[in-house]
Structure 1
């Protein structure tokens, strides 16, 4: 197996339980892919995902791979409110966790009569899109006739009369403008897409499933940080006798009799195998000399560097966390047009949307007189912006901190030190071109789908965020389950029941 990301480890544990001998070759010196932790002076910070949705995916992994359930390995805490939002006009609202009625009431009170009802009606339509796409996009291998998924819009958009014509929203931005009819509700909707590196102006309306997942299934925190989930999965792999080789870069996939037969490492060593599981369809092309892993009828692997990345600012603060502080606050950008410029080449938003995570976790601070805070913003990847240029990272981090002060007054005065992590760090840790972050698969647009886990080369599979069903912690776990099922049961595997 190439790489020790979350999807790869999920597949490795399942394959080991099924009787396979599994060896994982990881170019870095640790596991987890983008699920990392930065530590210094008694402070700890999640530099990847800060919260978890759909924990059932990881519960299933632990049930299927041993006696110890997930909750025996990590402590899951439901976050309430799931998030607080500070909009451009200064309006703020805290959204209760996993409560549609609570969210509707909160929005109605904060944004005025009718706002909550419109968001509630939107969630009903989003649920219909979820019900239509959940199995083919998350729980089943990518259909051979995947174009059916790309051609059909599962979101039941409301008819909208525009310029003497009746139209239905085709993009997420149109859903916000035509159905929600409030710039703050539109910003709320679009923030879910931005958090996944998805452009609301081009994302299909089916991206409505992204906020629906949070509202329907809740938001969770892992005590000690999300890195603890990676540790638990790694230890489950070890318990199932999966072998890990760190500092081992795979430079080629071996072939014999027309099928994958092992890997070649940077030091010239060769490891033979009956099956090879790779990470990143785009990078896989460079590992199979003279062969095209994907056929003309497959979803085309797109250059990873075309996707956005993230800047993460870790703040070590003096002063205790207020007892009523919210775990996550989203500070919205004042100008949507400026924000969306990040999806073009060579420019960062002047005033970005910033996610502020303030976990109430003693494990992440030296004592009660200090606090660890993480700021995150979606940005162009290193393939479209020079994050290594002198001053580029710090200048953008300054803008993020300025935005975050709308949620945490006095933030700069409380800062002892900060660590700024850009797509340059992401590329070093994950190998993704430009440090880009993979988005989840979405229906009704070919460019929103990811390549199948099965390649045109027998015995060669792909797992992780750059292949079906795309990026995000829940999707990584599902990807591992799909690959394991395809290897164990063969092409007749049709997903979990």
Structure 2
């Protein structure tokens, strides 16, 4: 197995339980891929995902690979409110976790009568899109006739009273303009796409499943940080006798009799294998094989994925009572932000939508007289970090953290280059989840490849990026290895 990302760990644990001898070769000195931790002066921070959506994926992994359930190994805390939003017009709202009625009521109270109902109606339609795409996109290997997913928009058409007919949105921006009709609700929806580096003007309407997934299954935090989830999965692998070799760079995949037969390491060592599973950037995988892995009619690896600029903040003073775990400070000029995301370059760096994470977790601070916080924003993958960009993010975050500048002891800047060094992703890009429609632009290549015995796992393969998707990709790869091409997914 190449790489110790979360998808690879999920596959390794399942394969080991199925009786396979599994060895994981990881280029860096630790496991988890982008799910890492930074520590300094008694402060600790998640440098990758800070929240866990759809924890059932990881519960299933622990159920299938041993007697100890996930909750015996890590503490999961449901985050409520799910998020607090500060809009450009000065209004704000705290969105309850996993309660449609609560969300409708909160939006009506904060933004005006009828606003919440429009969002609630949108969530009902988003559920239809979820029901239509959940199994083929998340629970089954990618269909050979994936074009059906690419061409068919699962988000339902909406009746238009004046036109006396239904009208189908093709992009998320059209959903926002036609159905939400409120700049704050538009920002709420756009924020979900921006979190995955997606421009709503070109992202298919099927992306409505992103806010629905969070609404329906809740937002969770792992006590001690999401890195604790990676630790638990790694330890489960070790208990199932998965062998890990860190500091081992794979420089090639060996081929024998027309199928993958092992890996070659930078020191010249060759390790034979019946199957090779790769959790790496697609460009690197192509170099390792030096042969085409996808044929005519296959989904091809693309240049998908935006990057993130992240600030780790060490703050003096206790976190105030009632502070939200997650606050989203929406961009003052939404169009300028999207234009920059779509067309990087130029001199201007617009104030982006900024997410502020403030976990109330003693494990992440030296004592109760201090606080650790994480601030991040989506950037075009090609952006070169500038010190001024950190200042822009700090100014935005000050809307969410009282007296931020006075409380700031120090901050650490995490650029896309850090992510690139740790995960090998080009430009430090973070892969988006797979989405239906849009001519397949947001589908990811299948887990199996045209080279027999070689499989792809993790965010750059089906079903795409994100912690739940990584766990699902691991389950699919394990199924394909154990059962062969006839594997059709979990039941």
TM-score band (shorter)? over 0.9
Moved more, 194-203 or 479-488: 194-203
Q: Distance in 1 between matches of 2:190 and 2:352?
A: 13
Deviation of 1:35 after TM superposition, in Å, equals 0.5
Say if 1:106 and 1:226 are closer, same or farther in 2 by CA, change over 3 A. Answer: same
Match of 1:424 in 2: 417
Match of 2:292 in 1: 292
Counterparts of 1:10-25 in structure 2 under 5 Å? 10-25=10-25
Counterparts of 1:402-481 in structure 2 under 5 Å? 402-445=395-438, 446-481=440-475
Match of 1:336 in 2: 334
Deviation of 1:159 after TM superposition, in Å, equals 4.3
Q: Alpha-carbon deviations, 1:117-172, whole Å to 9, x = none?
A: 00000000000000000000000000000000000000003245899997421100
Match of 1:312 in 2: 310
Contact 2:157–2:167 at 8 Å: present in 1 too? Answer: no
SS in structure 2 of the partner of residue 145 of structure 1? coil
Match of 2:394 in 1: 401
Match of 2:46 in 1: 46
TM-score scaled by length of structure 1: 0.96
Match of 2:172 in 1: 172
SS in structure 2 of the partner of residue 126 of structure 1? helix
Q: Alpha-carbon deviations, 1:265-303, whole Å to 9, x = none?
A: 1111111100000123332111112x2011111101113
Deviation of 1:380 after TM superposition, in Å, equals 1.4
Match of 1:357 in 2: 357
Counterparts of 1:224-303 in structure 2 under 5 Å? 224-279=224-279, 280-289=281-290, 291-303=291-303
Counterparts of 1:186-197 in structure 2 under 5 Å? 186-197=186-197
Q: Distance in 1 between matches of 2:431 and 2:162?
A: 35
Match of 2:79 in 1: 79
Deviation of 1:409 after TM superposition, in Å, equals 2.4
Q: Distance in 1 between matches of 2:469 and 2:45?
A: 23
Say if 1:128 and 1:349 are closer, same or farther in 2 by CA, change over 3 A. Answer: farther
Q: Alpha-carbon deviations, 1:44-93, whole Å to 9, x = none?
A: 01111110110000000000000000001100000100000000001110
Contact 1:161–1:167 at 8 Å: present in 2 too? Answer: no
Q: Distance in 2 between matches of 1:281 and 1:427?
A: 13
Deviation of 1:199 after TM superposition, in Å, equals 1.2
Q: Alpha-carbon deviations, 1:321-365, whole Å to 9, x = none?
A: 012111000000011111111232325742110000000000000
Q: Distance in 2 between matches of 1:450 and 1:108?
A: 38
Deviation of 1:410 after TM superposition, in Å, equals 1.2
Contact 1:342–1:349 at 8 Å: present in 2 too? Answer: no
Say if 1:121 and 1:163 are closer, same or farther in 2 by CA, change over 3 A. Answer: closer
Deviation of 1:397 after TM superposition, in Å, equals 0.9
Number of aligned residues = 487
Provide structure 1 residue ranges, at least 5 long, that are not aligned to the other structure. Answer: none
Q: Distance in 2 between matches of 1:470 and 1:183?
A: 29
Contact 1:308–1:343 at 8 Å: present in 2 too? Answer: no
Q: Distance in 1 between matches of 2:199 and 2:267?
A: 41
Provide structure 2 residue ranges, at least 5 long, that are not aligned to the other structure. Answer: none
Q: Distance in 1 between matches of 2:2 and 2:437?
A: 31
Q: Distance in 2 between matches of 1:352 and 1:10?
A: 34
Q: Distance in 2 between matches of 1:166 and 1:70?
A: 45
Match of 1:323 in 2: 321
Contact 2:158–2:166 at 8 Å: present in 1 too? Answer: no
SS in structure 2 of the partner of residue 448 of structure 1? coil
Contact 1:346–1:380 at 8 Å: present in 2 too? Answer: no
Contact 1:316–1:417 at 8 Å: present in 2 too? Answer: yes
Contact 1:77–1:223 at 8 Å: present in 2 too? Answer: yes
Contact 1:125–1:155 at 8 Å: present in 2 too? Answer: yes
Q: Alpha-carbon deviations, 1:221-240, whole Å to 9, x = none?
A: 00000000000000000000
Moved more, 108-117 or 340-349: 340-349
Find out whether 1:67 has 2:60 as its counterpart: no
Q: Distance in 2 between matches of 1:282 and 1:175?
A: 34
Q: Alpha-carbon deviations, 1:415-454, whole Å to 9, x = none?
A: 0000000100000000000100000000012111000001
Find out whether 1:346 has 2:339 as its counterpart: no
